Amino acid sequence: MPELGKYAVWVLSAYGVSLALIVAIVLQTVLRARRVRERLDKAEARRGNG
Amino acid sequence: MKRMSLWEYANPKKFMATTNVVLPWISVLAAICLVVGLVWGFFFTPDDFRQGSTVKIIYLHVPSALMAINAWLMMLVASLIWLVRRHHVSALAARAAAPVGITFTLIALFTGAVWGQPMWGTWWAWDPRLTSFLILFLFYLGYVALWEAVENPDTAADLTSVLCIVGSVFALLSRYAVNFWNQGLHQGATLSMDKEENIADIFWYPLLVAIAGFVLLFVALVLMRTRTEIRARRLHALQMRERMG
């Protein structure tokens, strides 16, 4: 861990919040992609059977 | 030999097939560049003689601010393509980019505030660059809200495209406001082609890698989200057909 001195709180909070936001948008993107894909597969299967 | 045209990717099938191949590579490259850039910047660069360790915030603040503006400009190009050529993929790509742009704008605003507090003695100032950046953030929110509010997708694409054109003024202002007004707390460009004005190489190289990481992350997320939007539209069409018997 680098020595951040008196600015440690500022630097660590910048990295903590930014990384949390990046992880959040990646997760939201991946989970929505999976959910929509599953629903589309089901709808296409119903159409194929119908 | 058949000539390839950019407009071929306006065909959803062609777009899905191509992005299916390139997306994993872009995602892996994005992860590598992000991790290398941020780890290099955080752990292996020295403190600045004036700013101390807060200089490490540059590896988040500059790439995110750069991408917040360029994401809007990418949405502008996609919106213009929609308005002129009526390619649905371009309208969906613009829609897909907005939440990613919001995330980068939020990161830039937050890291700017926590960098500004110890350096300027304030979290916020109504400085031309900061103010136009905040307005850009509000435009992002309005853009997403408008897409959600209008039921007809073509009408939503038309209205959001117009909003995007108007908001572009603030995207450009947030980049060039410092040059126009020459006042306020925020400094000029961090990245410059002029060797004298540019930051020292020891900060510059990890910053370049971090910027590459943010650009690739943006591309990967927009491609994945555009693929989802195309599938969601297909799903909606199938559901409508089912309902109509």
DSSP assignment of B129-150? HHHHHHHHHHHHHHHHHHHHH-
Q: Is residue B11 part of a domain?
A: no
Band the pLDDT of A32: cuts 50, 70, 90: very high
Q: Which among B98, B82, B41, B62 is positioned nearest to B214, based on CA atoms? A: B62
A 10 A CB-CB count for B195 gives 7
Query: Which of A12, A23, A36, A47 is the best mutation test for B, with the most CBs of B within 10 A?
Result: A36
Mean pLDDT of chain A: 94
The per-residue pLDDT for B180 is 65
Token pair of B221 as six digits: 């997320």
Phi–psi pair at B52, nearest 5 degrees: 60, -145
Band the pLDDT of B15: cuts 50, 70, 90: very high
Domain interval for residue A36: 22-50
Q: Is residue A9 part of a domain?
A: no
* Residues of chain A contacting B106 with CB distance shorter than 8 Å: 21
Lowest mean pLDDT of A2-6, B30-34, B115-119, B183-187, name the range: B183-187
Q: Is residue A34 part of a domain?
A: yes
Q: Is residue B10 part of a domain?
A: no
In a 3-state reduction of DSSP, which class is residue B193?
Answer: coil
Q: How far is B55 from chain A (nearest CA, A)?
A: 9
Q: Is A30 in the B-facing interface, judged by CB distances under 8 Å?
A: yes
Q: Is B28 in the A-facing interface, judged by CB distances under 8 Å?
A: no
Q: Is residue B156 part of a domain?
A: yes
Band the pLDDT of B195: cuts 50, 70, 90: low
Domain interval for residue B36: 17-188+198-244
Write the single-letter amino acid at B179.
N
Q: Is residue B54 part of a domain?
A: yes
Q: Which among B82, B53, B41, B71 is positioned nearest to B204, based on CA atoms? A: B41
Whether the predicted pLDDT of B189 surpasses 90: no
The mean pLDDT value for A5-31 works out to 97
The mean pLDDT value for B121-139 works out to 91
Instruction: Give the number of domains in chain A.
Output: 1
Whether the predicted pLDDT of B190 surpasses 70: no
The mean pLDDT value for B175-183 works out to 66
Q: Is residue A1 part of a domain?
A: no
A 10 A CB-CB count for B148 gives 9
Q: Is residue A47 part of a domain?
A: yes
Contact between chains at A17 and B107 (C-beta distance less than 8 A): yes
Tokens 């752990």 correspond to B43
